Amino acid sequence: MVFDEHVKASAIRLGQALREKPWFSSVGVSEEAGRPVFILYLRSAPGPERDSIPKEWDGFAVRTERLGKLRPACNVPPPHGESHPRCSALAL
Protein backbone atom coordinates (compact mmCIF):
# COMPACT_ATOMS: atom_id res chain seq x y z
CA MET A 1 0.00 0.00 0.00
CA VAL A 2 1.15 3.50 -0.77
CA PHE A 3 1.21 5.10 2.66
CA ASP A 4 3.53 8.05 2.77
CA GLU A 5 3.71 11.22 4.85
CA HIS A 6 1.34 13.04 2.48
CA VAL A 7 -1.35 10.35 2.96
CA LYS A 8 -0.80 10.33 6.72
CA ALA A 9 -0.99 14.13 7.00
CA SER A 10 -4.12 14.23 4.86
CA ALA A 11 -5.83 11.56 7.00
CA ILE A 12 -4.96 13.53 10.14
CA ARG A 13 -6.43 16.72 8.65
CA LEU A 14 -9.61 14.87 7.72
CA GLY A 15 -9.96 13.57 11.26
CA GLN A 16 -9.40 17.05 12.66
CA ALA A 17 -12.04 18.49 10.34
CA LEU A 18 -14.63 15.95 11.54
CA ARG A 19 -13.66 15.42 15.19
CA GLU A 20 -16.48 17.57 16.60
CA LYS A 21 -19.17 15.58 14.81
CA PRO A 22 -21.02 13.29 17.26
CA TRP A 23 -21.21 10.47 14.72
CA PHE A 24 -17.48 10.49 13.88
CA SER A 25 -15.06 8.03 15.50
CA SER A 26 -11.81 7.89 13.50
CA VAL A 27 -10.12 7.79 10.09
CA GLY A 28 -8.41 4.75 8.68
CA VAL A 29 -6.38 4.29 5.51
CA SER A 30 -6.81 1.34 3.19
CA GLU A 31 -6.10 0.62 -0.47
CA GLU A 32 -8.49 0.13 -3.35
CA ALA A 33 -7.36 -0.37 -6.94
CA GLY A 34 -3.78 0.37 -5.87
CA ARG A 35 -4.61 3.81 -4.42
CA PRO A 36 -5.05 4.94 -0.82
CA VAL A 37 -8.63 5.42 0.34
CA PHE A 38 -9.74 6.98 3.62
CA ILE A 39 -12.26 5.11 5.71
CA LEU A 40 -14.38 7.18 8.08
CA TYR A 41 -15.44 5.04 11.01
CA LEU A 42 -18.80 6.26 12.30
CA ARG A 43 -20.25 5.79 15.80
CA SER A 44 -23.77 6.31 14.46
CA ALA A 45 -25.61 7.31 11.32
CA PRO A 46 -24.89 10.96 10.52
CA GLY A 47 -28.53 11.69 9.67
CA PRO A 48 -29.07 14.97 7.82
CA GLU A 49 -25.31 15.66 7.94
CA ARG A 50 -24.71 12.72 5.60
CA ASP A 51 -24.30 15.16 2.71
CA SER A 52 -21.50 16.95 4.59
CA ILE A 53 -19.29 13.84 4.52
CA PRO A 54 -16.72 14.35 1.75
CA LYS A 55 -16.59 11.78 -1.03
CA GLU A 56 -13.02 12.87 -1.64
CA TRP A 57 -10.34 14.53 0.50
CA ASP A 58 -7.06 15.91 -0.88
CA GLY A 59 -7.58 13.82 -4.01
CA PHE A 60 -8.18 10.55 -2.11
CA ALA A 61 -11.48 8.67 -2.13
CA VAL A 62 -13.43 8.57 1.14
CA ARG A 63 -15.85 5.87 2.23
CA THR A 64 -17.65 5.18 5.50
CA GLU A 65 -17.99 2.21 7.83
CA ARG A 66 -20.45 2.15 10.72
CA LEU A 67 -18.84 0.82 13.90
CA GLY A 68 -21.72 0.97 16.31
CA LYS A 69 -20.84 0.43 19.96
CA LEU A 70 -17.29 -0.76 20.61
CA ARG A 71 -16.42 -3.09 23.45
CA PRO A 72 -12.94 -4.24 24.42
CA ALA A 73 -12.23 -7.92 23.92
CA CYS A 74 -10.79 -8.00 27.43
CA ASN A 75 -10.53 -5.50 30.24
CA VAL A 76 -7.27 -4.76 31.98
CA PRO A 77 -6.55 -7.64 34.38
CA PRO A 78 -7.41 -7.04 38.04
CA PRO A 79 -4.57 -5.99 40.38
CA HIS A 80 -2.36 -8.42 42.28
CA GLY A 81 -2.13 -10.96 39.45
CA GLU A 82 -5.66 -12.30 39.88
CA SER A 83 -7.17 -13.79 36.75
CA HIS A 84 -10.15 -12.21 35.10
CA PRO A 85 -12.90 -14.75 34.42
CA ARG A 86 -13.84 -13.27 31.05
CA CYS A 87 -10.24 -12.92 29.88
CA SER A 88 -8.83 -16.28 30.89
CA ALA A 89 -10.42 -17.99 27.89
CA LEU A 90 -8.74 -15.43 25.62
CA ALA A 91 -5.25 -15.86 27.04
CA LEU A 92 -2.75 -17.39 24.63
Q: Write out the residue range of the structural domain in which residue 1 sits.
A: 1-92
Give 59: exposed, middle or buried? Use CB within 10 Å, 0-12, 13-18, 19+: exposed
Q: What is the CATH number of the domain that holds 49?
A: 3.30.300
Q: Is 18 exposed, middle or buried (0-12, 13-18, 19+ CB in 10 A)?
A: buried
By the 8 A CB rule, do 40 and 21 touch? no
State the pLDDT at residue 86.
Answer: 54
DSSP 34: T
What's the mean pLDDT in 10-27?
95
Tens of pLDDT, residues 37-72: 999 999 998 888 888 899 999 999 999 999 877 676
Average pLDDT, the chain: 83
Instruction: Tell me how many domains the chain contains.
Output: 1
Report the distance separating Cα 75 and Cα 78, nearest Å.
Answer: 9
